[in-house]
Structure 1
C-alpha cells in the first residue's frame, strides 16, 4: 500500500477502528520532502546566514501546527506533523541554537489516544534533532476541542497528560532552566541574551461531575504562581537582553489584557522590570486567578524586556505598548482559503498543499551587539522584519 492510500485508510476521522498503533506506524513512515528541506535551507543560506554572527542567538520557530489525524490537502491534518519533521530536519544542518514551537502542536479534536500519539511523536522528533528545543503549551493542546464537538461528559485528557508527554521533556535538557520541578516558566541563556518562555494556558484542571470547570481551548490565562516565578527569574536577570515567548498574545494594541486572566499583569511586570522599579502587583480577583505579589527590579543592571513573541491568532501583526514590541507570528498549519475558519491573512496567501505556501515558519535572530531582533519568514510569512532590543 502506498503512503497516500495508507493515509486515507488509517487517518479517516469517521472510522471507528482507528487506533494509536496504526497512526504511529503511519507517522513513522513520514519523511521530509526534499523540495521543502531544500527551500528552508535556501532561506537560511541566502537570507539568514549573511546577516548573523556567532555572538547572536538564532532560533527556528514554528507555531500552531494543529496536527490532526486527517489526510487533508487543504486544511489542518497530518501536514502539521510533516512541517515539524521538515523544519527540524533542515535545522539539523544549519547554525541554529534552539528549535522553538509556540504551541498548538495538535488541533485537539481527535480521540484522546490519537492526540496523545501525535504529541508523543512530535516531541520525539524534536528530541531526535541535533538542536535543543522548547515547546510552549497552546490552548488546543489539552484536547478540549474533542470534548466540545462530542459533548462528552468527561475530560478526554487527564490532569498530567500534556505535562508527561511534552513539558517534562523541555526541562530534561541541560540548556533549558526552570526554578523548580513544577514551575511553568522556562528560560534559555546564551551570552548577553536571555529567552524566557511563559505558559498562557496556565489554567487549573478542576473537574465538576467529570467535566472541566475551565475549557482550556476557550480560556487563556496565567496564575499567581507563574507570575511569582516570572518575577523571581527577572529579579535574577542582570545585564541581559530579554525576549519573552508564549503561545497567545498577552495584551491588545490598546494595552488591555488579551488573555482571559492576567495578561495585563504580565505587561505590567515587563514595564516595571524595564523601569527598575520596586512595588506590588495585584488584581481584584480572588480564587483561581487572584494575584497579589511584590517585586524588586532595582538590581538588574541594563537588562530590558524588548519583545514578546507569540502565535495563536493565525495572522501576523506587530504593535508596541509602553516600549515593548508585541509580535504575532502566522500559523504553520495549512489553511486553504476556502475554509470558513481560515483568516483573511491566510486567504491572501492562497495556501496550497505541496507548494511553498503550504508552510509558514521563521528564523529569529537576536543580536546583542547591534541591538536588533530580526525575523526571517518563509512560506506564508513575511520575508523580513526587524525590531530593536
Structure 2
C-alpha cells in the first residue's frame, strides 16, 4: 500500500515546504508496540544499567532506518519510522544521556512532499523525547534516489530542505554545540567525554539545467570548511575522551579512504590530534573538494580520539587503524533475506516483521574512569562488544 500524493503548504508558501497531509496523518497514528518497548527496556535494565553512573555517557543509537511510505512486511517501509518511535519511547523512559541517529533516516525514494513529511515527523518524535538528540545526515536523506528513478534526475529537494527540516533542530538544543550557524560539525559534552559529529555527505548543492552536479546518494565526502571546523573544535578540546560519529565509514581496514573525497584526510587529522602534532593537511585536488589547512594540536592535554562510529554499510564490523577503533553498526531498517539488496549479514539474521529480528539498535556506554566503551545491541545486532578508550 502506498500513500496518495495530497499536499498542503506549511509554515511558508515556498514549494520546498509542501508536505503530504495523508502521510502526516498516517504517521501520527503510529504507536510503539508494547512487546518491542518491553524488550528494549529489558536490554537496557539488565545489560546497560549496571554500567551507568554519573561519570559515564550512555547513548541510544539507530542508523539507516530507511523509512519509506509503503507498508512492507519484509523490507524498507513505514516500519523504519516505527523503530524510531519505539527506541525513543525507551530512551525517554530510562533516561539515556543522548539520542543519536546516524543517518539515512529515510530511503529517499518517495515523492518530495512525502519525504519531507517523513523527516518532519521523525524530528518531532526526537524532540518529544526528553534526552537531547543528534541526527546525522545520510547519503539517502536528500531524496536523490527518487530523482534517479522517477524524476528524470531533476532536483526534488531544494538546497535548504534537509537543513530546515532536520539540521536546524539539532542545533536549537542547548546541549548540542557548534562553532557558528553554518558549521556542519557538532559536539556534545558530558564530564570528561566529548562526542563529535561530522557530515560525510558534505556535498555541494550545484545545479546544471535543473539536475544536481553531484548525486548525494552515490557521492560521499568532506569539504575543506568542515575539516577546518573540525580542526578548530579539536584544538579547543582539552583533556577529553573523544568519540567521533558520522554516517559513512571514512577509511577501510587498509587505511584507504572509504569516502569519495577526503575520508583519509579526516583520519589523518584525528591521528595528528592524538599525536599532539602541528602541521598541514593538504590534498592534490582543486575546486569543490580541495583542502589546504593548518593545525596545531600541541595544547590539547591528554585528549585522544579513540573511536569513530558509523552506519551506512548495513552490516557490523570493527577494525583498528593507527590506534583508532572504527566501528560500523547494522542498519535499523528491516531487510528480509529474500531481497536482492539485503546484505549477507542481515540474511543470516533472517529478519522478520513483528519479531525481534525486525529491528536493530544499540546502547553505547562510555566510561572514562574504566577507559572502556561498551556496545549493547538488540534485535539484529551483536549483543555485546567492548573497546578500550
TM-score by length of 2: 0.96
Could you tell me which residue of structure 2 aligns to residue 274 of structure 1? 274
Q: Deviations over 1:135-185 (max 9, x none)?
A: 000000000000111252420000000000000100000000000000000
Q: Give the SS at the match of 1:361.
A: strand
- TM-fit CA distance, 1:52: 2.5
Provide the aligned length of Structure 1 versus Structure 2: 378
Q: Deviations over 1:49-83 (max 9, x none)?
A: 11222210000000000000000010000000000
Matched, 1:180 2:180: yes
Matched, 1:80 2:80: yes
Could you tell me which residue of structure 1 aligns to residue 323 of structure 2? 323
Distance 1:318 1:203 in 2: 26
Distance 1:281 1:143 in 2: 32
Could you tell me which residue of structure 2 aligns to residue 360 of structure 1? 360
Task: For structure 2, list consecutive stretches of 5 or more residues without a partner in the other structure.
Answer: 8-18
Q: Deviations over 1:210-264 (max 9, x none)?
A: 0000000000000000000000000000000000000000000000000000000
Higher deviation after alignment, 351-360 or 49-58: 49-58
Could you tell me which residue of structure 2 aligns to residue 369 of structure 1? 369
1:160-199 to 2 correspondences below 5 Å: 160-199=160-199
Matched, 1:121 2:121: yes
Distance 2:277 2:89 in 1: 44
Distance 1:71 1:56 in 2: 39
**Is 2:63–2:101's contact at 8 Å kept on the other side of the alignment?**
yes
After superposition, the Cα gap between the structure-2 partners of 1:17 and 1:228, relative to the gap in structure 1 and judged at 3 Å, is: closer
Distance 2:147 2:382 in 1: 35
- TM-fit CA distance, 1:17: 6.2
Q: Give the SS at the match of 2:93.
A: coil
Q: Give the SS at the match of 1:92.
A: helix
- TM-fit CA distance, 1:102: 0.1
Task: For structure 1, list consecutive stretches of 5 or more residues without a partner in the other structure.
Answer: 1-7
Could you tell me which residue of structure 2 aligns to residue 30 of structure 1? 30
Could you tell me which residue of structure 2 aligns to residue 131 of structure 1? 131
Could you tell me which residue of structure 1 aligns to residue 340 of structure 2? 340
**Is 2:41–2:94's contact at 8 Å kept on the other side of the alignment?**
yes
Moved over 3 A (4+): 15-19
Matched, 1:89 2:89: yes
Distance 2:53 2:335 in 1: 35
Q: Deviations over 1:23-48 (max 9, x none)?
A: 11110000000000000000001110
Q: Give the SS at the match of 2:280.
A: strand
Q: Give the SS at the match of 1:308.
A: strand
Q: Give the SS at the match of 1:70.
A: coil
Distance 1:155 1:21 in 2: 22
- TM-fit CA distance, 1:93: 1.1
Distance 1:90 1:254 in 2: 38
Could you tell me which residue of structure 1 aligns to residue 301 of structure 2? 301
After superposition, the Cα gap between the structure-2 partners of 1:177 and 1:351, relative to the gap in structure 1 and judged at 3 Å, is: same
Distance 2:51 2:189 in 1: 21
**Is 2:5–2:20's contact at 8 Å kept on the other side of the alignment?**
no
1:59-78 to 2 correspondences below 5 Å: 59-78=59-78
Distance 1:36 1:344 in 2: 25
Distance 2:153 2:222 in 1: 26
Q: Give the SS at the match of 1:54.
A: coil
